[in-house]
Amino acid sequence: MSENKPMSLKLYKAIVKDFNKMTSFSRKAENELKKKYKEVPSPTISSIISLLVQRSMKQSYRKSPVISSKYFELYEELMKDQNKEDVILKLADSQGLSPALFVRSLLQNVCSDSAEVKKYLKDTTLIENSDLAYQVFLGIMNDNQYGPYVDIIKQSIGLEYELQLENELRMMNISFSDENLLRLRGYDKTPDFKLDVPIAVDGFIVNWIESKALFGNEENHLGYMKDQLLCYWNRFGPGLVIYWFGYLETLDSTPEVNNMFILRTTFPEKTSITQYKIDL
């Protein structure tokens, strides 16, 4: 778990600046950045980079057969060389794409439909062409933001933190209804945990808790707020959002924070939680 304070804007800006200097979206560049910011917990920096890469990819990645075939031409050109060890990485860098996205695009030219692309991406051993198989394998292995493994990792992280949170709630004897139960009861919007009995965290009433196993910056926070957090507020009142990998300090000064929900980076300390108890 990361440190408890939100990330200072200065640090965040420095990371973004360094990120913008990066010439590659492969894991190597990411590792370098991690090395540079040793004081920042690794998941946090990964998450920040992930967000930044996603933002860049939104701009540079296009699903188009024309582009795919162009990529394939380039690939074939390079494969003629003797030294074809990391052709894919070079190509991805040159195209300003993350390697996994690049191989996906490449496969789109090779395969007949997207299901097949998906299948090959998932299991590169199924690709008949050994060179291509190896290159795709390389591409996927060297990408920390896209690809089947990364998807699994992200899902798994989300789940882990949710379970962690659930566990904490159980340990504190806080009763709750989880998403599945709420959906079963016909709720139209379901936070991760809707507390059956509200608690107070540092004096702030909390009716629901949303776990976010990523870093919260202004961009994704705004999105979450619109699609989830405000909707929860509209139904359940104030709540708690945990950005497990930290969040940008500027979020704390948005009007909704400390008003409709509070932000934390960990599960609150026992001492800061007030449970409703009745003394007779």
Partner 1 sequence: MPETIIQSALSGKLDWDLLSKWLNNESIEAAPEDCILFYSNRNEFVGFFLSYLRNQTENVLQTNSNALPIPQHQGTPEKSLVQRKHHRSASEPTCDSDISNDSLAVKSDRKTQESPNRERRKPGRRVKTKLFPEDKKEHNISLSSDESRISTGVERLVLSSTPLKTTFKPDYSNLPSSSPVTPHSRSFKKCERCDAPRISRHSRSQEKSVSLADYLVNVQSKSSKKRRSKNTSNDDSEAKMDLDLSNLEIFPEISTRKSSSLKSDRRRINPTNIDRSKKSYSLNSFTPEAFQQPSPLALEENLAFKPKLQPKELSKGIEVERNILKQEKQKLMEKFNVLNTTLSPKVTTPQIKVSQKDLSERNLSCVEADQSKIAFIEKIDILIDIYNVLLKNNLILSINTEIYFLITILLSKQLDEDYRISKSQLQMNLYESILKPIHNSTYFAVKSLWNQRSVLDVILDKNSLKILGENKKVRSFYPDLAKFLLNSYGLKREAESNSDRSKTSESRGSNGMVCFNHETDNAENFPSILSFQNFKKQRDMFFEILRWYSSGDGGGGGGGGGGGGVGGVGGVGAALRTRTRTLLALGAGAPNHAHLAALLTRMLLDAPAPESKLSKLQRRLTCPSATESHRLPHFSDKEMFYKEFIMHAENESFRVHLKDALASEILALDATGISNESSNGSDLTREYLLLSKKLCLLSKFLGYLTSLPYVQISVDILLKRGPLPGNKEEIFAAPKEKVLENDIALRNYSQPTIDLNGILRAAIDNGRMTITVPWLVHYLSMLDYTTLRLNYYQNLLNLLFGIYEKTLKCNTFMKKNTIIYMKSILGWLFDLPHFPQEFFNHKRDVTFSVARKGFDSCDLVDESTLFELCPFLRDVNVLLSTSRVNHEKESFRHITPVSLTLNTEDRIRNKEKELQARLEEELLRSQPSSSRRVLELVWERVCSAAVRDLAAALAGARGEARAAAAGLVAQHADRDTLIPLLRAMYAEHLDKLRSEALESCKTIARSRISAALTALLPNSPTQLHAVATRTCYNRLSKWINDHWTTTAVLCRNIEQEAWSLRVSPDSPPAQVAPPPPNLPNLRDLCSPAAALIALKEHICLLLEDAEAPPPAGVLRACAASCAPHNVFTRPPTQRAILQLSIDFCIVYVSRKTMKILEVLPDLHELWNTCCPDRPHHDEGPESPERRPDLSPTDDYDDRAPTPQSDDDGKTGEVNGPVVERPPPAASPPEPGPPEAGALAPFARVLCARNVHVLGRRAGAWAALAHVLLFLLTERYLAPGALAETCLALYSQAWPQDVLTNLSTCMKTVSSGWSSSSGGKFTLFLDFLADYCNDMDVEIIE
Write out the residues near partner 1 by the rule CB under 8 A: 27, 115, 118-119, 122-131, 133-134, 137-138, 141-142, 144, 148-149, 152-157, 159-160, 163-164, 167, 170-173, 175, 185-189, 196-200, 203, 205, 207, 230-231, 233-238, 260, 274-278, 280
Shortest reach from residue 10's CB to partner 1, in Å: 26
* Alpha-helical segments (H) within 61-129: 65-79, 87-95, 99-110, 114-122
Q: Which secondary structure element, helix H or strand E, spans residue 264, and what is its range?
A: strand 261-264
Shortest reach from residue 13's CB to partner 1, in Å: 26
Shortest reach from residue 212's CB to partner 1, in Å: 15
Q: Token pair of 191, please?
A: 């936070």
Shortest reach from residue 161's CB to partner 1, in Å: 9
In terms of CB distance, is 67 or 111 closer to partner 1?
111
- The SS3 call for residue 40 is coil
In terms of CB distance, is 94 or 155 closer to partner 1?
155
In terms of CB distance, is 68 or 190 closer to partner 1?
190
Shortest reach from residue 149's CB to partner 1, in Å: 6
Q: In terms of Cα–Cα distance, which of 177, 163, 158 is closest to 236?
A: 177
In terms of CB distance, is 96 or 237 closer to partner 1?
237
In terms of CB distance, is 39 or 128 closer to partner 1?
128
* Alpha-helical segments (H) within 1-41: 9-21, 27-36
Query: What are the backbone dihedrals phi and psi of residue 21, each rounded to the nearest 5 degrees, phi first?
Result: -80, -20
Q: Is residue 266 exposed (0-12), middle (13-18) or buried (19+ Cβ within 10 Å)? A: middle
